[in-house]
């Protein structure tokens, strides 16, 4: 697996004075400024309703800002072709995994590859590789309802990686998992970042999960209030 980090020399993600209003009243984001370097693993932390998911949706071009700019891999999202951008640059992982229940694991992984010009045999090979990487080789023909919560989330990560994205945006991916599955998933995220240089932004309200990242960004009431390195990360750098 490889990625080109979007071919950009600058930061992977830049949010500049981003404001998001719902119904012109509810201020979900209130002047967010955030810069994430290529290959960084950042945890976005904060209580429910602080704007973590809204920010991720804007970064994924699933929604548009009320004001401010978002630049991903050097491209301003207001001018990016959204479908192609999501297909090529972004891998999305949701809390509820959002897999297609009638399709097998193999088929779910192939879904983002339609429309990319990838040939059938290549799609199959890529899906097999990803399932193997997620330790799901024996579940190729299983449909999501037959998988455990951890397996579904790993399958969702495999799908997110299908098109070699440069960025993975994960919205509370560990929310419904037990601690063993959480540890497994975090190890996977670290491995993806370390081995393939993928930029990861993971939203969570769980301190334990956030500490797996290289940097923690704290949000409250639609604003970024603090950015720090986890203790483990500081300790390893101090040695």
Task: State in angstroms the smallest separation of the CB of 85 from another protein.
Answer: 8
* Chosen residue from 65, 88, 153, 204 binding another protein by CB under 8 A: 88
**220 is a contact residue toward another protein (CB under 8 A):** no
H/E stretch holding 183 = helix 179-196
Tell me which stretch binds another protein (CB under 8 A): 108-116, 132-140, 144-152, 198-206: 108-116
Task: State in angstroms the smallest separation of the CB of 239 from another protein.
Answer: 41
Burial class (CB in 10 A: 0-12, 13-18, 19+), 45: buried
Q: 140-159 mask for another protein (x: CB under 8 A)?
A: -------------------x
**78 is a contact residue toward another protein (CB under 8 A):** no
**98 is a contact residue toward another protein (CB under 8 A):** yes
- Which CB, 112 or 214, lies closer to another protein? 112
Q: According to the 3-state scheme, what is the secondary structure of 152-173?
A: HHHHHHHHHCCCCCCEEEEECC
Site of tokens 């604003």: 223
109-128 residues in contact with another protein (CB under 8 A) are 110-112, 114-115, 120
Tell me the longest C-alpha to C-alpha distance in the chain: 50
Measured between alpha carbons, how far is residue 71 from residues 11, 58, 67 in Å? 9, 11, 13
Q: Is the Cβ–Cβ distance between 185 and 154 less than 8 Å?
A: yes
- Residues within the interface to another protein (CB under 8 A): 57, 60, 62-63, 83-88, 90, 92, 94, 98-100, 102-103, 106-107, 110-112, 114-115, 120, 159, 163
């Amino acid at each position: 697996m490889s990625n080109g980090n979007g071919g950009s020399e600058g930061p992977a993600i830049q949010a500049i004075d981003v404001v998001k209003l719902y119904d012109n009243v509810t201020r979900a984001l209130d002047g967010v400024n955030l810069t994430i370097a290529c290959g960084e693993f950042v945890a976005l932390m904060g209580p429910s309703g602080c704007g973590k998911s809204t920010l991720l949706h804007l970064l994924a071009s699933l929604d548009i800002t009320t004001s401010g700019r978002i630049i991903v891999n050097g491209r301003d999202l207001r001018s990016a072709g959204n479908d192609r951008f999501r297909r090529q640059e972004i891998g999305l992982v949701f809390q509820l995994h959002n897999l297609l229940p009638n399709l097998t694991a193999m088929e779910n992984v192939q879904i983002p590859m339609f429309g990319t010009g990838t040939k059938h045999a290549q799609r199959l090979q890529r899906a097999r590789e990803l399932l193997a990487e997620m330790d799901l080789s024996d579940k190729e023909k299983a449909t999501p309802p037959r998988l455990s919560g951890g397996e579904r989330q790993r399958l969702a990560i495999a799908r997110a990686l299908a098109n070699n994205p440069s960025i993975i945006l994960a919205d509370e991916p560990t929310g419904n998992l037990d601690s063993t599955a959480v540890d497994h998933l975090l190890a996977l995220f670290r491995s993806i970042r370390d081995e393939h240089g993928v930029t990861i932004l993971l939203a969570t309200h769980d301190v334990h999960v956030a500490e797996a990242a290289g940097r923690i960004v704290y949000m409250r009431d639609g604003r970024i209030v603090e950015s720090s390195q986890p203790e483990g990360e500081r300790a390893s750098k101090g040695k």
